[in-house]
Amino acid sequence: MAGARDPITKYSQGGLATEKDIMLANALHEYVDKHVLVGDVRQNLDGGFHRDEKLAKKTFDEVVKGLIKLDCARAWLPKEYGGLGLESNVTYCIMNEELGRGDLGVALHFNMIPWAFTPAMMTNNKPTLETYAPMFCGDEVHSAAFEMTEPAGGCNIEDRQQHGRTIQTRAELVDGHWVINGQKMWASNNGVAEFYSTVCTTDPNKGDEGICIITIPKDTPGLSFGKPEAKMGMVWTDYNGAMYLDNVRVPEEYCTARPGGEGAEVFHSMLQSRFTDGAMALGGAQTCLEIVEDYTKDRFIVGKPVRERSFLAAKIGGMAMKVRAARAFYMHIASMFDHPELYGKTNSTPQVGRAASSKVFSTSTAIETMLGCIELMGSYGYSADYHVEKYLRDVIIIHLWMGGIQLTTLESAQAEYPFEPW
Protein backbone atom coordinates (compact mmCIF):
# COMPACT_ATOMS: atom_id res chain seq x y z
CA MET A 1 0.00 0.00 0.00
CA ALA A 2 3.02 2.31 0.19
CA GLY A 3 2.55 3.17 -3.48
CA ALA A 4 -0.62 5.09 -2.60
CA ARG A 5 1.57 7.64 -0.83
CA ASP A 6 3.10 8.76 -4.09
CA PRO A 7 1.31 11.71 -5.79
CA ILE A 8 1.69 10.16 -9.23
CA THR A 9 -0.05 7.00 -8.04
CA LYS A 10 -2.75 8.95 -6.22
CA TYR A 11 -3.72 11.45 -8.88
CA SER A 12 -2.86 9.92 -12.25
CA GLN A 13 -5.81 7.52 -12.21
CA GLY A 14 -8.42 8.37 -14.83
CA GLY A 15 -6.24 10.86 -16.68
CA LEU A 16 -7.85 13.91 -15.02
CA ALA A 17 -4.67 15.36 -13.51
CA THR A 18 -2.28 17.14 -15.85
CA GLU A 19 1.51 16.96 -15.76
CA LYS A 20 1.50 20.38 -14.03
CA ASP A 21 -0.97 19.05 -11.44
CA ILE A 22 1.43 16.20 -10.62
CA MET A 23 4.34 18.65 -10.36
CA LEU A 24 2.30 20.80 -7.94
CA ALA A 25 1.34 17.74 -5.91
CA ASN A 26 4.96 16.62 -5.69
CA ALA A 27 6.14 20.05 -4.52
CA LEU A 28 3.46 20.30 -1.82
CA HIS A 29 3.97 16.67 -0.82
CA GLU A 30 7.67 17.23 -0.30
CA TYR A 31 7.11 20.44 1.67
CA VAL A 32 4.54 18.81 3.95
CA ASP A 33 6.82 15.83 4.56
CA LYS A 34 9.78 18.04 5.46
CA HIS A 35 8.10 20.86 7.38
CA VAL A 36 4.78 19.63 8.80
CA LEU A 37 4.94 15.85 9.32
CA VAL A 38 8.04 16.18 11.49
CA GLY A 39 8.69 16.50 15.20
CA ASP A 40 6.07 18.38 17.19
CA VAL A 41 4.88 20.67 14.37
CA ARG A 42 1.34 19.31 14.22
CA GLN A 43 0.98 19.37 17.99
CA ASN A 44 2.39 22.90 18.11
CA LEU A 45 -0.14 24.10 15.55
CA ASP A 46 -2.67 23.24 18.26
CA GLY A 47 -0.61 25.12 20.82
CA GLY A 48 0.77 21.97 22.41
CA PHE A 49 -0.82 20.18 25.34
CA HIS A 50 -1.75 23.46 27.02
CA ARG A 51 -3.20 25.06 23.84
CA ASP A 52 -0.68 27.90 23.94
CA GLU A 53 -1.89 30.51 21.43
CA LYS A 54 1.53 32.15 21.12
CA LEU A 55 3.22 28.84 20.25
CA ALA A 56 0.43 27.97 17.81
CA LYS A 57 0.63 31.34 16.04
CA LYS A 58 4.42 31.15 15.73
CA THR A 59 4.26 27.62 14.29
CA PHE A 60 1.37 28.50 11.97
CA ASP A 61 3.17 31.53 10.52
CA GLU A 62 6.34 29.49 9.91
CA VAL A 63 4.44 26.76 8.05
CA VAL A 64 2.28 29.19 6.08
CA LYS A 65 5.21 31.39 5.00
CA GLY A 66 6.89 28.37 3.47
CA LEU A 67 3.74 27.58 1.51
CA ILE A 68 3.42 31.20 0.40
CA LYS A 69 6.82 30.77 -1.26
CA LEU A 70 5.27 27.85 -3.15
CA ASP A 71 2.57 30.24 -4.46
CA CYS A 72 -0.31 28.71 -2.48
CA ALA A 73 -1.69 32.12 -1.49
CA ARG A 74 -1.65 33.72 -4.92
CA ALA A 75 -2.40 30.66 -7.03
CA TRP A 76 -6.06 31.49 -7.66
CA LEU A 77 -5.86 35.29 -7.76
CA PRO A 78 -5.92 37.19 -11.10
CA LYS A 79 -2.65 37.62 -12.97
CA GLU A 80 -3.07 41.39 -13.31
CA TYR A 81 -2.69 41.71 -9.53
CA GLY A 82 0.24 39.35 -9.14
CA GLY A 83 -1.62 36.05 -8.95
CA LEU A 84 -1.21 32.95 -11.08
CA GLY A 85 -4.78 32.98 -12.35
CA LEU A 86 -5.32 29.24 -11.92
CA GLU A 87 -8.90 28.08 -12.49
CA SER A 88 -8.98 24.28 -12.61
CA ASN A 89 -11.10 22.63 -9.91
CA VAL A 90 -9.03 19.47 -10.31
CA THR A 91 -5.86 21.42 -9.50
CA TYR A 92 -7.57 23.10 -6.56
CA CYS A 93 -8.66 19.76 -5.10
CA ILE A 94 -5.19 18.29 -5.44
CA MET A 95 -3.73 21.27 -3.59
CA ASN A 96 -6.37 20.85 -0.87
CA GLU A 97 -5.61 17.19 -0.34
CA GLU A 98 -1.85 17.66 -0.21
CA LEU A 99 -2.15 20.53 2.30
CA GLY A 100 -4.69 18.52 4.28
CA ARG A 101 -2.12 15.74 4.60
CA GLY A 102 -0.14 18.05 6.80
CA ASP A 103 -2.74 20.01 8.72
CA LEU A 104 -6.40 20.68 7.97
CA GLY A 105 -6.29 24.15 9.53
CA VAL A 106 -3.35 25.17 7.34
CA ALA A 107 -5.23 23.84 4.30
CA LEU A 108 -8.27 25.88 5.35
CA HIS A 109 -6.18 29.06 5.52
CA PHE A 110 -5.30 28.78 1.83
CA ASN A 111 -8.89 27.86 0.98
CA MET A 112 -10.21 31.03 2.56
CA ILE A 113 -8.19 33.31 0.29
CA PRO A 114 -9.85 32.42 -3.05
CA TRP A 115 -13.15 31.83 -1.21
CA ALA A 116 -13.27 35.40 0.12
CA PHE A 117 -12.09 36.85 -3.20
CA THR A 118 -14.53 34.85 -5.34
CA PRO A 119 -17.37 37.41 -5.41
CA ALA A 120 -14.98 40.15 -6.51
CA MET A 121 -13.38 37.86 -9.09
CA MET A 122 -16.74 36.74 -10.49
CA THR A 123 -17.93 40.33 -10.96
CA ASN A 124 -14.49 41.91 -11.59
CA ASN A 125 -14.96 44.29 -8.68
CA LYS A 126 -11.83 46.40 -9.04
CA PRO A 127 -12.02 48.30 -5.71
CA THR A 128 -11.74 45.02 -3.79
CA LEU A 129 -9.22 43.42 -6.12
CA GLU A 130 -6.97 46.47 -6.43
CA THR A 131 -6.95 47.03 -2.66
CA TYR A 132 -6.37 43.49 -1.45
CA ALA A 133 -5.18 41.12 -4.17
CA PRO A 134 -1.61 42.53 -4.38
CA MET A 135 -1.34 42.20 -0.59
CA PHE A 136 -2.20 38.50 -0.73
CA CYS A 137 0.24 37.98 -3.60
CA GLY A 138 3.12 39.17 -1.41
CA ASP A 139 5.41 37.33 0.98
CA GLU A 140 3.63 37.99 4.29
CA VAL A 141 0.85 36.03 6.00
CA HIS A 142 -2.59 37.60 5.48
CA SER A 143 -6.04 36.24 6.20
CA ALA A 144 -9.42 36.79 4.57
CA ALA A 145 -12.97 35.94 5.66
CA PHE A 146 -16.28 35.12 4.02
CA GLU A 147 -19.23 35.91 6.30
CA MET A 148 -22.52 34.10 5.77
CA THR A 149 -23.74 32.12 8.81
CA GLU A 150 -25.90 33.92 11.37
CA PRO A 151 -26.76 33.00 14.99
CA ALA A 152 -30.47 32.48 14.45
CA GLY A 153 -30.44 30.50 11.23
CA GLY A 154 -27.37 28.25 11.14
CA CYS A 155 -27.17 26.69 7.71
CA ASN A 156 -30.54 28.14 6.59
CA ILE A 157 -28.66 30.78 4.61
CA GLU A 158 -26.80 28.05 2.75
CA ASP A 159 -30.04 26.32 1.74
CA ARG A 160 -30.87 27.66 -1.71
CA GLN A 161 -34.47 26.45 -1.33
CA GLN A 162 -35.01 29.21 1.23
CA HIS A 163 -33.98 31.85 -1.33
CA GLY A 164 -32.23 34.15 1.12
CA ARG A 165 -35.36 34.84 3.15
CA THR A 166 -33.63 33.96 6.43
CA ILE A 167 -30.75 36.44 6.01
CA GLN A 168 -31.01 39.03 8.77
CA THR A 169 -27.90 41.12 8.12
CA ARG A 170 -29.36 44.19 6.40
CA ALA A 171 -27.62 46.53 3.94
CA GLU A 172 -29.13 49.87 2.97
CA LEU A 173 -27.72 52.18 0.30
CA VAL A 174 -27.51 55.71 1.74
CA ASP A 175 -25.73 58.62 0.04
CA GLY A 176 -23.30 56.45 -1.88
CA HIS A 177 -22.51 54.13 1.06
CA TRP A 178 -23.83 50.79 2.20
CA VAL A 179 -24.96 50.95 5.82
CA ILE A 180 -24.88 47.46 7.30
CA ASN A 181 -26.41 46.12 10.52
CA GLY A 182 -26.52 42.59 11.84
CA GLN A 183 -24.48 39.74 13.25
CA LYS A 184 -22.50 36.87 11.75
CA MET A 185 -21.10 33.74 13.39
CA TRP A 186 -18.49 31.06 12.83
CA ALA A 187 -16.71 32.52 9.80
CA SER A 188 -13.08 31.50 9.53
CA ASN A 189 -10.58 34.21 10.49
CA ASN A 190 -13.07 36.33 12.39
CA GLY A 191 -11.19 39.17 14.05
CA VAL A 192 -7.89 38.54 12.25
CA ALA A 193 -8.78 39.00 8.56
CA GLU A 194 -7.77 41.92 6.34
CA PHE A 195 -11.29 42.12 4.91
CA TYR A 196 -14.68 40.48 5.36
CA SER A 197 -16.70 39.47 2.30
CA THR A 198 -20.18 39.62 3.81
CA VAL A 199 -23.50 38.19 2.65
CA CYS A 200 -26.31 40.69 3.29
CA THR A 201 -29.84 41.43 2.16
CA THR A 202 -31.55 44.68 1.31
CA ASP A 203 -34.85 43.10 2.40
CA PRO A 204 -35.46 39.48 3.49
CA ASN A 205 -38.93 39.63 1.95
CA LYS A 206 -37.34 40.04 -1.48
CA GLY A 207 -35.72 36.61 -1.23
CA ASP A 208 -33.00 36.06 -3.81
CA GLU A 209 -33.58 39.53 -5.23
CA GLY A 210 -32.38 41.09 -1.97
CA ILE A 211 -29.09 39.18 -1.61
CA CYS A 212 -25.88 41.16 -1.98
CA ILE A 213 -22.23 40.60 -0.99
CA ILE A 214 -20.18 43.50 0.33
CA THR A 215 -16.47 43.83 1.13
CA ILE A 216 -15.90 45.28 4.61
CA PRO A 217 -12.32 46.35 5.41
CA LYS A 218 -10.91 45.57 8.84
CA ASP A 219 -11.05 48.42 11.35
CA THR A 220 -14.17 49.86 9.72
CA PRO A 221 -16.07 51.84 12.41
CA GLY A 222 -18.98 49.86 13.78
CA LEU A 223 -17.31 46.51 13.09
CA SER A 224 -16.47 44.44 16.19
CA PHE A 225 -15.89 40.83 17.21
CA GLY A 226 -16.57 38.50 20.09
CA LYS A 227 -13.90 36.35 21.68
CA PRO A 228 -12.73 33.28 19.75
CA GLU A 229 -14.87 30.21 20.36
CA ALA A 230 -13.34 27.37 22.38
CA LYS A 231 -13.53 24.41 20.02
CA MET A 232 -12.86 20.71 19.72
CA GLY A 233 -10.53 21.10 16.74
CA MET A 234 -8.67 23.71 14.67
CA VAL A 235 -8.02 25.31 18.02
CA TRP A 236 -5.73 28.12 16.82
CA THR A 237 -5.35 27.43 13.11
CA ASP A 238 -8.81 28.94 12.59
CA TYR A 239 -10.34 31.78 14.60
CA ASN A 240 -14.13 31.58 14.86
CA GLY A 241 -16.50 33.81 16.76
CA ALA A 242 -19.18 36.45 16.45
CA MET A 243 -18.95 39.47 14.15
CA TYR A 244 -21.12 42.48 15.00
CA LEU A 245 -22.10 45.16 12.48
CA ASP A 246 -23.48 48.37 13.97
CA ASN A 247 -24.13 50.99 11.28
CA VAL A 248 -21.03 49.88 9.39
CA ARG A 249 -20.53 52.17 6.38
CA VAL A 250 -18.56 51.17 3.27
CA PRO A 251 -18.43 52.82 -0.17
CA GLU A 252 -21.05 51.69 -2.68
CA GLU A 253 -18.38 50.33 -5.02
CA TYR A 254 -17.35 47.72 -2.41
CA CYS A 255 -20.50 45.74 -3.22
CA THR A 256 -19.01 42.77 -5.07
CA ALA A 257 -22.36 41.13 -5.96
CA ARG A 258 -25.33 43.44 -6.23
CA PRO A 259 -28.97 42.87 -5.27
CA GLY A 260 -31.47 42.20 -8.01
CA GLY A 261 -30.26 38.71 -8.86
CA GLU A 262 -26.48 39.03 -9.20
CA GLY A 263 -25.91 38.53 -5.47
CA ALA A 264 -27.96 35.34 -5.40
CA GLU A 265 -26.30 33.99 -8.54
CA VAL A 266 -22.81 34.53 -7.11
CA PHE A 267 -23.66 33.27 -3.63
CA HIS A 268 -25.43 30.11 -4.72
CA SER A 269 -22.65 29.34 -7.20
CA MET A 270 -20.05 29.63 -4.46
CA LEU A 271 -21.87 27.18 -2.20
CA GLN A 272 -21.43 24.37 -4.70
CA SER A 273 -17.68 24.06 -4.12
CA ARG A 274 -18.30 21.50 -1.37
CA PHE A 275 -16.37 18.75 -3.16
CA THR A 276 -13.17 20.71 -2.54
CA ASP A 277 -13.78 20.37 1.21
CA GLY A 278 -13.92 16.62 0.75
CA ALA A 279 -10.49 16.66 -0.88
CA MET A 280 -9.07 18.49 2.12
CA ALA A 281 -10.61 15.97 4.53
CA LEU A 282 -9.21 13.05 2.55
CA GLY A 283 -5.72 14.49 2.88
CA GLY A 284 -5.96 14.01 6.63
CA ALA A 285 -7.45 10.54 6.15
CA GLN A 286 -4.56 9.54 3.86
CA THR A 287 -2.00 10.55 6.48
CA CYS A 288 -3.85 8.64 9.21
CA LEU A 289 -3.92 5.61 6.97
CA GLU A 290 -0.16 5.87 6.51
CA ILE A 291 0.33 6.26 10.27
CA VAL A 292 -1.61 3.08 10.98
CA GLU A 293 0.17 1.17 8.21
CA ASP A 294 3.53 2.03 9.77
CA TYR A 295 2.31 1.38 13.31
CA THR A 296 0.91 -2.08 12.52
CA LYS A 297 4.11 -3.00 10.68
CA ASP A 298 6.09 -2.65 13.90
CA ARG A 299 3.56 -4.26 16.28
CA PHE A 300 3.41 -8.03 16.46
CA ILE A 301 0.91 -10.76 17.26
CA VAL A 302 2.63 -14.07 17.97
CA GLY A 303 5.70 -13.05 16.03
CA LYS A 304 3.89 -11.70 12.98
CA PRO A 305 3.27 -8.00 12.15
CA VAL A 306 -0.26 -6.92 13.05
CA ARG A 307 -0.97 -5.68 9.54
CA GLU A 308 -0.22 -9.13 8.11
CA ARG A 309 -2.93 -10.82 10.16
CA SER A 310 -5.79 -11.36 7.73
CA PHE A 311 -8.61 -9.73 9.70
CA LEU A 312 -6.60 -6.59 10.46
CA ALA A 313 -5.09 -6.45 6.98
CA ALA A 314 -8.61 -6.58 5.56
CA LYS A 315 -9.68 -3.69 7.79
CA ILE A 316 -6.76 -1.54 6.61
CA GLY A 317 -7.42 -2.56 3.02
CA GLY A 318 -11.09 -1.64 3.38
CA MET A 319 -10.21 1.82 4.64
CA ALA A 320 -7.71 2.33 1.82
CA MET A 321 -10.34 1.22 -0.69
CA LYS A 322 -12.83 3.82 0.51
CA VAL A 323 -10.22 6.59 0.50
CA ARG A 324 -9.31 5.74 -3.10
CA ALA A 325 -12.99 5.66 -4.07
CA ALA A 326 -13.65 9.04 -2.44
CA ARG A 327 -10.64 10.54 -4.21
CA ALA A 328 -11.81 9.21 -7.58
CA PHE A 329 -15.27 10.65 -6.83
CA TYR A 330 -14.07 14.18 -6.04
CA MET A 331 -11.65 14.17 -8.99
CA HIS A 332 -14.50 13.21 -11.30
CA ILE A 333 -16.85 15.88 -9.92
CA ALA A 334 -14.08 18.50 -10.06
CA SER A 335 -13.56 17.68 -13.73
CA MET A 336 -17.29 18.04 -14.36
CA PHE A 337 -17.22 21.49 -12.75
CA ASP A 338 -14.32 22.39 -15.03
CA HIS A 339 -16.60 21.72 -18.01
CA PRO A 340 -19.92 23.53 -17.47
CA GLU A 341 -20.50 23.45 -21.23
CA LEU A 342 -20.99 19.69 -20.87
CA TYR A 343 -22.45 19.26 -17.40
CA GLY A 344 -24.31 22.49 -16.64
CA LYS A 345 -23.80 25.66 -14.64
CA THR A 346 -22.22 25.52 -11.20
CA ASN A 347 -25.51 26.12 -9.40
CA SER A 348 -27.67 23.88 -11.59
CA THR A 349 -29.58 21.20 -9.68
CA PRO A 350 -27.54 18.25 -11.07
CA GLN A 351 -24.22 19.93 -10.27
CA VAL A 352 -25.42 20.90 -6.79
CA GLY A 353 -26.27 17.26 -6.12
CA ARG A 354 -22.96 16.00 -7.46
CA ALA A 355 -20.95 18.39 -5.30
CA ALA A 356 -23.03 17.58 -2.23
CA SER A 357 -22.71 13.82 -2.73
CA SER A 358 -18.95 14.04 -3.13
CA LYS A 359 -18.51 16.09 0.03
CA VAL A 360 -20.67 13.81 2.17
CA PHE A 361 -18.90 10.70 0.90
CA SER A 362 -15.41 12.16 1.35
CA THR A 363 -15.87 13.61 4.84
CA SER A 364 -17.76 10.53 6.05
CA THR A 365 -14.97 8.35 4.67
CA ALA A 366 -12.35 10.52 6.39
CA ILE A 367 -14.06 10.24 9.78
CA GLU A 368 -14.61 6.50 9.41
CA THR A 369 -10.96 6.03 8.43
CA MET A 370 -9.62 8.06 11.34
CA LEU A 371 -11.80 6.22 13.84
CA GLY A 372 -10.72 2.91 12.30
CA CYS A 373 -7.08 3.90 12.69
CA ILE A 374 -7.60 4.73 16.36
CA GLU A 375 -9.25 1.35 16.89
CA LEU A 376 -6.32 -0.47 15.30
CA MET A 377 -3.79 1.50 17.34
CA GLY A 378 -5.63 1.25 20.63
CA SER A 379 -4.45 3.69 23.31
CA TYR A 380 -1.68 4.99 21.06
CA GLY A 381 -4.26 6.06 18.49
CA TYR A 382 -5.93 8.05 21.27
CA SER A 383 -2.59 9.67 22.15
CA ALA A 384 -1.49 13.07 20.79
CA ASP A 385 1.95 11.63 20.01
CA TYR A 386 0.59 9.76 16.98
CA HIS A 387 -1.49 12.71 15.67
CA VAL A 388 -4.52 10.71 14.54
CA GLU A 389 -6.69 12.21 17.28
CA LYS A 390 -5.87 15.73 16.05
CA TYR A 391 -6.83 14.94 12.47
CA LEU A 392 -10.12 13.53 13.77
CA ARG A 393 -10.85 16.60 15.90
CA ASP A 394 -10.05 18.91 13.00
CA VAL A 395 -12.03 17.04 10.35
CA ILE A 396 -15.33 17.11 12.25
CA ILE A 397 -15.97 20.78 11.44
CA ILE A 398 -15.36 20.15 7.72
CA HIS A 399 -18.07 17.50 7.94
CA LEU A 400 -20.39 20.02 9.62
CA TRP A 401 -19.90 23.25 7.70
CA MET A 402 -21.72 24.26 4.51
CA GLY A 403 -24.93 22.64 5.71
CA GLY A 404 -23.54 19.47 7.23
CA ILE A 405 -24.55 15.98 6.19
CA GLN A 406 -28.28 16.72 6.46
CA LEU A 407 -28.53 19.59 3.95
CA THR A 408 -25.96 18.11 1.59
CA THR A 409 -27.71 14.74 1.57
CA LEU A 410 -31.02 16.50 0.91
CA GLU A 411 -29.51 18.37 -2.03
CA SER A 412 -28.12 15.12 -3.37
CA ALA A 413 -31.63 13.68 -3.26
CA GLN A 414 -33.06 16.71 -5.06
CA ALA A 415 -30.65 16.10 -7.92
CA GLU A 416 -32.16 12.64 -8.38
CA TYR A 417 -35.83 13.60 -8.18
CA PRO A 418 -36.94 17.26 -7.97
CA PHE A 419 -39.02 18.23 -4.94
CA GLU A 420 -39.54 21.27 -2.72
CA PRO A 421 -38.62 20.22 0.86
CA TRP A 422 -40.17 23.26 2.47
* 401 and 271 both lie in a single domain: yes
* 221 and 291 both lie in a single domain: no
Q: Give the pLDDT confidence score for residue 5 in this predicted structure.
A: 79
* 26 and 75 both lie in a single domain: yes
* Residue 195 belongs to domain spanning: 145-260
Q: Give the pLDDT confidence score for residue 206 in this predicted structure.
A: 96
* 308 and 233 both lie in a single domain: no
φ/ψ (deg, to 5) at 171: -125, 130
pLDDT digits (tens, 9 = 90+) for 355-377: 999 999 999 999 999 999 999 99
In the predicted structure, residue 3 carries a pLDDT above the cut 70: no
> 196 falls in which pLDDT band (50, 70, 90)?
very high
- Provide the CATH number for the domain around residue 398: 1.20.140.10
Q: Residue 251 falls within a domain, yes or no?
A: yes
* 118 and 47 both lie in a single domain: yes
* 237 and 287 both lie in a single domain: no
What is the pairing mode between strands 304-305 and 300-301? Answer: antiparallel
Q: Please state, as a whole number, how many other Cβ atoms lie within 10 Å of the Cβ of residue 10.
A: 23
* 395 and 273 both lie in a single domain: yes
* 275 and 410 both lie in a single domain: yes
Q: Residue 1 falls within a domain, yes or no?
A: no
User: End of a domain among 260, 284, 315?
Assistant: 260
* 66 and 206 both lie in a single domain: no
Q: Residue 57 falls within a domain, yes or no?
A: yes
pLDDT digits (tens, 9 = 90+) for 365-415: 999 999 999 999 999 999 999 999 999 999 999 999 987 778 888 888 777
Question: What contacts 24+ positions apart, CB below 8 Å, involve 387-392?
Answer: 387/42, 387/43, 387/287, 387/288, 387/291, 388/288, 388/291, 388/292, 390/42, 390/43, 390/46, 390/233, 391/104, 391/284, 391/285, 391/287, 391/288, 392/233, 392/288, 392/367
pLDDT digits (tens, 9 = 90+) for 197-246: 999 999 999 999 999 999 999 999 999 999 999 999 999 999 999 999 99
Q: Residue 221 falls within a domain, yes or no?
A: yes
- Size of the chain, expressed as the number of residues it contains: 422
Q: Residue 373 falls within a domain, yes or no?
A: yes
> 44 falls in which pLDDT band (50, 70, 90)?
very high
Q: Tell me the whole-structure pTM to 2 decimals.
A: 0.94
* 224 and 153 both lie in a single domain: yes
In the predicted structure, residue 129 carries a pLDDT above the cut 90: yes
User: End of a domain among 228, 244, 260?
Assistant: 260
Our count of domains for the chain comes to 3
Q: Residue 223 falls within a domain, yes or no?
A: yes
Q: Is the dihedral of CA 294, 295, 298, 299 positive or negative?
A: negative
* 236 and 289 both lie in a single domain: no
- Provide the CATH number for the domain around residue 176: 2.40.110.10
* 236 and 321 both lie in a single domain: no
